[in-house]
Amino acid sequence: MLADAGFCSKAFLAGVVQLGLEVSVTIPSNRVTAQGRPIGQVTRQRQAMMLPGLPDLQLWLYWIWLSSSGDGTRKKRYVVSTLNVVPDTIRANGRKRWRIEALFKTLKSRFGLHRSGQYTKRGMLRYCCLCFLSDVLCHLEILEDAPASSKIWPDWRAVAQRLRQKYCGLVRLSELRREIQTIEAVLDSVLLI
């Protein structure tokens, strides 16, 4: 399981390991080890360590360098993992997470799914179902319209708008007709006076 620093709590790490999963989590540099040493002061990768409150959990410390978008400076991000592997493996696994992040960013910004309630278990299930449904419908729309040889990445906003017009057009049309009838009724009453 890959996660960012928002999920580096003791309860999360212990719960994931209890489920029998391996975990790699970004961790802040000021977090201290069980020996009281800040993570940011560690000078060797793939070093065995333990976190306070998790004495039975053997973790391995790694770091990756991320480039800043504009000025070319690099930032060091620390990762703790239950996997004892070479640092390149941790980097390769971390790259997979960015694809997932890109998918969720697209679903939130292009499809408006950031508005669904994600604070309860039911809200999260609703969100996941809506994401899956949106993704499937968009891919079906692309398969229907695009030629088989096309390798151009689609504009997801345009695909979503086309889908909305295609499947929700009748609903919007009936709303507009009802609004027109209301406006005409008001105008008729005003004109009779």
Give the span between the Cα atoms of 7 and 18, in whole angstroms. Answer: 15
Alpha-carbon torsion angle 103, 108, 114, 118, nearest 10: -10
114's CB contacts (< 8 A; 6+ apart) are 108
Domain ranges of the chain: 2-108, 119-193
Class of the 2-108 domain? alpha beta
pLDDT for the residue numbered 85: 92
Which CA distances in Å does 26 have to 13, 77, 159, 170?
A: 11, 7, 34, 47
Spell 96-108 as b/e; 16+ CB within 10 A means b. Answer: eeeeeeeeeebbb
pLDDT for the residue numbered 148: 56
Rounded to two decimals, the pTM is: 0.56
Give the span between the Cα atoms of 116 and 123, in whole angstroms. Answer: 7
Token pair in block for residue 16: 């994931």
pLDDT for the residue numbered 181: 94
What DSSP line would sit under 33-94, residue for residue? -TTS-BGGG--SSSEEE--TT-TT--EEEEEEEEE-SSS--EEEEEEEES----HHHHHHHH
pLDDT for the residue numbered 165: 80
β partners of residue 3: 25
Token pair in block for residue 163: 């889908």
pLDDT in tens, the chain (193 residues): 888 777 788 888 988 899 999 998 889 988 998 888 899 888 888 988 999 988 888 899 999 887 766 777 888 889 999 999 998 888 888 877 777 777 777 767 766 666 666 677 787 787 778 778 878 888 888 877 766 556 677 787 788 788 878 877 777 888 899 999 999 999 988 887 6
pLDDT for the residue numbered 92: 86
pLDDT for the residue numbered 179: 93
